[in-house]
């Protein structure tokens, strides 16, 4: 039995199931149960999370009420309206689109967030007995009630989150189907109506409310990763419940060796000029970083170059061309498959793990992810800006994300959003540092694109050096997209199982080295200790999400249970 139980109705809207992806990426272990089974198990939980279209009968409602009254904690995410009294709110109506504003800075849940917290759909409410921690406004910024309400009910503690946070994360990440040009920015900063269908044409964020400039520039960009913060709200609501209960729980951290964030550099080989390729490779080699080379059809690099990339542990990925619209370069699955096979032969590599689309081309919504999945491409990097005004996080996050299919299942292609194209060429060099700062604050991945075609232009080489060195100063390592995808796949195999009270086991079917775990230390605990397989171990105090944690780094052998006692 887990400490955290997520209660779902299998007949809910499919985006509701994205909670599994959000918690899995956050490294939080949970049990998923059907509403009808909650009654049997409720007393064993530390926190229950009620999500989506749930409709409890009277007897189950009574059990939930008893559970909270006797000291349980619960989180309400756009769920059964008949439970509103327990959560200290009164539901009003649906909201189409809005923002979470006026966040209470003294609360664990709402401190440290600075994006526009743009949300789509879900329920409005206002606090009755509960305490509001944030307000909700509609798309015109008119008051629409409270957004986050915490409540004491009997001996228990509850949190209600208005609007459909999970659906909002999915919509911002995946966008709407790309079938025509998007609306350009009214200030002329992003003319995405360029007759080329691309990822930006499906984006749903707001030109006015979701952008801020990178100082000292005055031109707005998507500087704050909104979906990172919407995810964080859910994670921090869970952490708050543990604080209230004076309990801890192991969280599988995003990266190994205690790394707090990662950087990635990709290169699109447009024009395939050999001299410029050597020139760029020379720069990254001197900086001692490994990067991802996305190669465009019909190629042109000599075999020695591909060999050098492989010998030096650089990644070779596909740069799918559906822009040229000549033979084999159209937006069709056949042409994608053709180019995939072509590159494997051209570069002399056994498999391809990753892709970025030339000019961030995109059509429809999910079909391209399916094409990738069918070919075993595990990482895509196409979601990102092609214009100055869409630089940053137009798809919401600095965290890599798996898409959810319309049937509620995960599509096994990790999207690593790209933050900007070439510094100097598309934006000033200092944008690099501003974007890295945003990523650092959210423990995400800073993905920069530099084309070899621009490397010999004035100041570009220095820009590459500056962004690499600045990321290093923030403690980031530079990884290839394959390394990022492989790590995410690996860490998803690790299981944390709650045994009882303060005992856990950690297992994995494969061996994984230098895994980072963090344990919340509630303020009320002053003699926190961690035993691994019966031995007390040293831990490092760190602050994450505004809370105190103990960090440990361990190696996990395949199929060997690690016993953790707090």
Nearer to Zn ion, 49 or 449 (CB): 449
Per CB under 5 A, the segment of 48-56, 202-210, 262-270, 534-542 that binds Zn ion is 262-270
Residue 198 lies near Zn ion (rule: CB under 5 A): no
Q: Answer for the pair 139, 97: CB distance below 8 angstroms, yes or no.
A: yes
Per CB under 5 A, the segment of 4-12, 238-246, 261-269, 420-428 that binds Zn ion is 261-269
Nearer to Zn ion, 28 or 296 (CB): 296
Is residue 277 within a helix (H) or strand (E), and if so which, with residue range? helix 274-286
Q: How far is the CB of 427 from Zn ion (least distance, A)?
A: 17
Residue 270 lies near Zn ion (rule: CB under 5 A): yes
Nearer to Zn ion, 174 or 269 (CB): 269
Nearer to Zn ion, 237 or 464 (CB): 464
Q: How far is the CB of 319 from Zn ion (least distance, A)?
A: 6
Residue 273 lies near Zn ion (rule: CB under 5 A): no
Picking from 541, 539, 559, 561, the residue whose alpha carbon sits closest to that of residue 549 is: 541
Nearer to Zn ion, 456 or 555 (CB): 456
What is the Cα–Cα distance from 102 to 105, expressed in whole angstroms?
Answer: 9
Q: How far apart are the first and last CA of the chain?
A: 17
Nearer to Zn ion, 268 or 482 (CB): 268
Using DSSP's 3-state secondary structure scheme, residue 231 falls into helix
Q: How far is the CB of 450 from Zn ion (least distance, A)?
A: 12
Nearer to Zn ion, 73 or 329 (CB): 329
Contacts of 318 (CB under 8 A, 6+ apart): 294, 295, 339, 340, 343, 352, 354, 355, 356, 377
Per CB under 5 A, the segment of 124-132, 197-205, 351-359, 558-566 that binds Zn ion is 351-359
- H helix count then E strand count, the chain: 12, 30
Per CB under 5 A, the segment of 308-316, 350-358, 375-383, 525-533 that binds Zn ion is 350-358
What is the Cα–Cα distance from 5 to 46, expressed in whole angstroms?
Answer: 8
Per CB under 5 A, the segment of 6-14, 125-133, 354-362, 535-543 that binds Zn ion is 354-362
Q: How far is the CB of 264 from Zn ion (least distance, A)?
A: 17
Q: How far is the CB of 80 from Zn ion (least distance, A)?
A: 49
Per CB under 5 A, the segment of 73-81, 155-163, 353-361, 516-524 that binds Zn ion is 353-361
What is the Cα–Cα distance from 242 to 484, expressed in whole angstroms?
Answer: 30
Per CB under 5 A, the segment of 135-143, 266-274, 365-373, 419-427 that binds Zn ion is 266-274
Q: What are phi and psi of 8, to 5 degrees?
A: -130, 155
Q: Answer for the pair 124, 93: CB distance below 8 angstroms, yes or no.
A: yes
Residue 118 lies near Zn ion (rule: CB under 5 A): no
Q: How far is the CB of 399 from Zn ion (least distance, A)?
A: 24
Nearer to Zn ion, 76 or 336 (CB): 336
Q: How far is the CB of 358 from Zn ion (least distance, A)?
A: 4
Q: Strands, DSSP E only, in 385-544?
A: 414-415, 445-449, 477-478, 495-500, 503-507, 512-520, 530-532, 535-537, 540-544
CA distances from 206 to 97, 116, 169, 220 (A): 11, 10, 15, 11
Nearer to Zn ion, 270 or 285 (CB): 270
Nearer to Zn ion, 116 or 480 (CB): 480
Q: How far is the CB of 268 from Zn ion (least distance, A)?
A: 4
Q: How far is the CB of 294 from Zn ion (least distance, A)?
A: 7
What is the Cα–Cα distance from 74 to 6, expressed in whole angstroms?
Answer: 10
Q: What is the dihedral of CA 198, 201, 205, 207, to 10 degrees?
A: 110
Cβ burial, residue 500 (10 Å; 0-12/13-18/19+): exposed
Applying the rule CB under 5 A, the residues between 507 and 536 that interact with Zn ion are: none
Residue 422 lies near Zn ion (rule: CB under 5 A): no
Among 268, 315, 346, 378, binds Zn ion (CB under 5 A): 268
Residue 97 lies near Zn ion (rule: CB under 5 A): no
Residue 66 lies near Zn ion (rule: CB under 5 A): no
Q: How far is the CB of 323 from Zn ion (least distance, A)?
A: 8
Q: Answer for the pair 447, 487: CB distance below 8 angstroms, yes or no.
A: no
Whether the bond into 37 is cis, omega within 30 of 0: no
DSSP state of 186: T
Question: Could you tell me how far CA 551 lies from the centroid of its own chain?
Answer: 21
**Burial 122-156, CB ≥16 within 10 A → b, else e:** bbbbbbeebebbbbbbeeeeeebbbbbbbbebeeb
What is the Cα–Cα distance from 400 to 415, expressed in whole angstroms?
Answer: 5
Per CB under 5 A, the segment of 301-309, 356-364, 366-374, 509-517 that binds Zn ion is 356-364
Among 358, 441, 442, 498, binds Zn ion (CB under 5 A): 358
Total chain residues near Zn ion (CB under 5 A): 3
Nearer to Zn ion, 158 or 421 (CB): 421
Nearer to Zn ion, 229 or 268 (CB): 268
- Measured over the CA atoms of residue 29, residue 34, residue 40 and residue 43, the dihedral's sign is positive
Q: How far is the CB of 254 from Zn ion (least distance, A)?
A: 29
- Measured over the CA atoms of residue 194, residue 195, residue 198 and residue 203, the dihedral's sign is positive
Residue 200 lies near Zn ion (rule: CB under 5 A): no
Nearer to Zn ion, 6 or 192 (CB): 192
The contact set with Zn ion (CB under 5 A) reads 268, 270, 358
């Amino acid at each position: 039995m887990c400490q955290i139980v997520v209660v779902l109705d299998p007949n809910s809207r499919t985006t509701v199931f994205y909670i599994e992806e959000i918690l899995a990426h956050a490294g939080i272990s949970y049990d998923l149960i059907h509403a009808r089974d909650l009654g049997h198990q409720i007393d064993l939980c530390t926190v229950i999370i009620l999500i989506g279209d749930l409709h409890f009968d009277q007897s189950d409602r009574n059990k939930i009420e008893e559970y909270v009254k006797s000291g349980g904690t619960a989180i309400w995410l756009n769920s059964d309206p008949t439970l509103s009294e327990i959560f200290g709110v009164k539901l009003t109506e649906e909201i189409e689109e809005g923002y979470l504003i006026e966040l209470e800075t003294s609360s664990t849940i709402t401190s440290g967030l600075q994006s526009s917290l743009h949300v789509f759909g879900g329920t409005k409410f206002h606090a009755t007995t509960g305490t509001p921690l944030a307000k909700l406004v509609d798309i015109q910024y008119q008051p629409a009630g409270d957004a986050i309400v915490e409540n004491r009910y009997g001996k228990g503690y509850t949190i209600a989150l208005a609007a459909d946070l999970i659906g909002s994360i999915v919509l911002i990440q995946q966008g709407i189907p790309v079938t025509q040009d998007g609306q350009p920015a009214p200030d002329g900063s992003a003319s995405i109506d360029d007759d080329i269908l691309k990822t930006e044409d499906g984006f749903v964020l707001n030109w006015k409310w979701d952008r801020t400039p990178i100082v000292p520039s005055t031109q707005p960009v998507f500087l704050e990763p909104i979906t990172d913060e919407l995810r964080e709200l859910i994670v921090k609501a869970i952490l708050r419940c543990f604080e209230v209960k004076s309990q801890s729980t192991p969280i599988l951290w995003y990266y190994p060796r205690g790394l707090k964030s990662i950087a990635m550099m990709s290169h699109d080989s447009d024009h395939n000029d050999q001299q410029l390729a050597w020139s760029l490779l020379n720069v990254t080699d001197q900086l001692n970083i490994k990067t991802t080379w996305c190669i465009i059809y019909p190629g042109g690099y000599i075999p020695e170059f591909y060999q050098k990339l492989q010998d030096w542990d650089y990644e070779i990925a596909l740069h799918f061309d559906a822009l040229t619209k000549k033979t084999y370069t159209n937006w069709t699955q056949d042409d994608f498959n053709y180019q995939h096979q072509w590159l494997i032969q051209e570069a002399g590599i056994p498999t391809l793990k990753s892709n970025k689309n030339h000019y961030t081309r995109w059509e429809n919504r999910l079909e391209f992810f399916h094409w990738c999945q069918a070919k075993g491409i595990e990482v895509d990097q196409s979601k990102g800006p092609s214009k100055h005004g869409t630089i940053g996080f137009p798809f919401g996050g600095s965290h890599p994300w798996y898409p959810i299919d319309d049937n509620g299942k995960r599509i096994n292609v990790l999207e690593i959003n790209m933050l900007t194209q070439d510094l100097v060429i598309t934006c000033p060099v200092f944008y690099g540092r501003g974007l890295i700062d945003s990523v650092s604050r959210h423990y995400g991945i800073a993905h920069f694109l530099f084309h070899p075609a621009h490397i010999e232009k004035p100041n570009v080489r220095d820009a590459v050096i500056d962004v690499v060195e600045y990321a290093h100063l923030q403690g980031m390592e530079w990884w290839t997209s394959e390394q990022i995808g492989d790590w995410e796949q690996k860490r998803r195999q690790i299981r944390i199982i709650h045994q009882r009270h303060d005992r856990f086991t950690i297992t994995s079917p494969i061996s994984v080295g230098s895994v980072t775990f963090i344990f919340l230390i509630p303020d009320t605990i002053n003699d926190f200790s961690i035993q691994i397989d019966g031995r007390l171990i040293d831990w490092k105090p760190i602050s994450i999400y505004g809370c105190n944690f103990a960090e440990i780094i361990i190696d996990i052998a395949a199929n060997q249970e690690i016993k953790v006692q707090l």
